[in-house]
Amino acid sequence: MSGFSPTSFGVIGLGRMAQALLFPLLESGQLSAPSVRAAVASAASADRLRQQHPDLAIATEAAPAWGCAVVLLAVKPQQLEAVAAQAPRLEAAEPPLLISVLAGVTLARLQRLFPGWRVVRAVPNTPALVRCGLTGLAWGEGVDGPQRAWVEALFAQVGEVLHLPEPQLDAFLALTSSGPAFVALVAEALADGAVAAGLPRPQAQHLAQRTLAGTAALLEQRQLHPGQLKDMVSSPGGTTIAGIRRLEQAGLRSALIEAVLAAAERSRELA
């Protein structure tokens, strides 16, 4: 992937996002299964994952994972303090690399909790699970060019990667990480409307999803401003402008703006 080639890869919290990042590395041969050490919270989770991936070393004990050259930290933010207490305090000539995907956890906090580590803050979103993700990256002190290239390539496996000043990551998270939930709510509401208008539920859900996917593709491929697409579809006195009028009366535009702002503010509070 780059001039930096870690000999071992640890995962603290092998959930869906960590799996989405790890498994392409294994499938491509860029990491070997014996070089991976993963830790999960419960014995039941460890047993289930071992059955699914018998070649991986998966345990509830985190010490082996902490001994790796690169560690992916993918626990819940409220578990951070307890997890950090288990991490070794390092005085190595070549500090290992810690990649955090914890929402709202700043580089300053990571560097305080993990002294001696080089840290990276990553903000991936859920569409990374189908390799259509967006990831924002911010770098801690001492992360060099080859390490940055390796981390970027890691997240590029699952979508587009952006390098951002850390203060912008809260807004990035609000739009890209919380945004899929907002879009899913819109998809659900559109399907509900179609059911109310007479379509069967399965067909309504399928059509709502395809409408959103097709609209996103059209905006991106034609490089259209959203207002242009709205105007393309809105005929004088037609059905679309009648629906848009109701959306404006209901305050949809303002509600979405406020939702993104609220998510960004919450991210700052978590920090």
Q: What is the pLDDT of residues 129-145, one digit of tens each?
A: 999 999 999 999 999 99
| End-to-end C-alpha distance for the chain, whole angstroms | 32
CA distance 149 to 134: 17
pLDDT value of residue 165: 96
Residues of the chain with pLDDT under 50: 1
* Whether the Cβ atoms of residue 135 and residue 220 lie closer than 8 Å to each other: no
pLDDT value of residue 248: 97
Residue with tokens 């001039």: 3
Same topology, domains 9-166 and 177-270? Answer is no
CATH architecture of 177-270: Orthogonal Bundle (1.10)
pLDDT value of residue 141: 93
* Whether the Cβ atoms of residue 33 and residue 58 lie closer than 8 Å to each other: no
pLDDT value of residue 145: 94
**Percent of residues in the chain assigned helix, strand, coil, to nearest 5:** 55, 15, 30
pLDDT value of residue 28: 83
Quickly name the fold that domain 9-166 has: Rossmann fold (3.40.50)
Q: Which helix (H) or strand (E) holds 257?
A: helix 252-270
pLDDT value of residue 92: 60
Domain extent listing, the chain: 9-166, 177-270
**10 Å Cβ neighbour count for 80?**
17
CA distance 231 to 19: 42
pLDDT value of residue 29: 84
pLDDT value of residue 175: 98
pLDDT value of residue 24: 87
Beta strands, E only, 127-259: 133-139, 159-163
pTM confidence score: 0.91
